[in-house]
Amino acid sequence: MKGDSIVIEKHHRAAAAGICEILLPVITMGGGKFVITVAGESGSGKSETAAAIAERLAQDGVDSFIFQQDDYFVHPPKSNDRVRREDIGWVGPQEVKLDLMDEHLAQFRAGAVLIDKPLVIYEEDQVDREQANTGGARVAIAEGTYTTLLDNADCHVFIDRSYEQTRAHREKRRRHDSELDPFIDRVLAIEHDIIATHKQRAQLIVNANYSVSRAG
């Protein structure tokens, strides 16, 4: 998403190191493309963790490309907020074109270099298009609240932190004042109930202290 702010901190790098310690042997031994998803609640550090994973992979000579779920919303951010306020039942996976995101991950796996994908421009509240060049990327990282639902993935990573635990990060990020009003707390409670069930689909869990463990 154009206009988003990502600040990678020490704990994001710690989580990325734990994830890559487990996945790098699998990635380097395999001959094809590899897809990682990073999911979690609002403010849990999905974007930052994805960027930290890409950074850590690059240190080992593995190029990656990040797909952001924010680019695949049916409506751009400010419009989506208005739709939610008109009908809170809109909150959920239906807000996102997950089928399209999955299709683009399938294209990546099949070796596509250029992928015609949506691009959200936050300040202009619009969805544009971009010809994403994945170059020689070996790994795709798909990050976003509902990305554990994507089928075209080799490993699902779930950040196990609730929206109550992430409030400080959301206040720090603060894309818009509406993010911190009481209505958004209702939205986050709904999202929490939805994605709590997604944890069971993950292979790796980022714990509250940013350590990483295998699911189960």
Is the pTM higher than 0.75? The answer reads: yes
Q: Which domain holds residue 187?
A: 10-207
Ranges of the chain whose pLDDT falls below 50: none
Domain assignment of residue 152, yes or no: yes
Q: Which pLDDT belongs to residue 24? A: 96
Decide if 171 is inside a domain.
Answer: yes
3-state secondary structure of 9: coil
Q: Is residue 212 part of a domain?
A: no
63 within 8 A of 133, measured Cβ to Cβ: no
Q: Is residue 201 situated within a structural domain? A: yes
Q: Based on the structure, what is the number of domains in the chain? A: 1
117 pairs with which residues across the strands? Answer: 130
4 located within any domain: no
What is the pLDDT, as a whole number, of residue 136?
Answer: 86
Instruction: Estimate the crossing angle of helix 77-86 against helix 182-195, to 10 degrees.
Output: 90
Q: What are phi and psi of 113, to 5 degrees?
A: -95, -45
CA proximity to 66, closest of 137, 157, 114, 3 = 137
Instruction: For the chain, give the percent of residues with pLDDT over 90.
Output: 78
What is the predicted pLDDT for the residue at 177?
A: 54
> What is the per-residue pLDDT for 194?
95
Report if residue 214 sits inside a domain. no
Q: Examine residue 148 and state whether it is found in any structural domain, yes or no.
A: yes
Predicted local distance difference test score (pLDDT) of residue 180: 63
Q: Report the CATH number that the domain containing residue 143 is assigned in CATH.
A: 3.40.50.300
Residue 213 lies in a domain: no
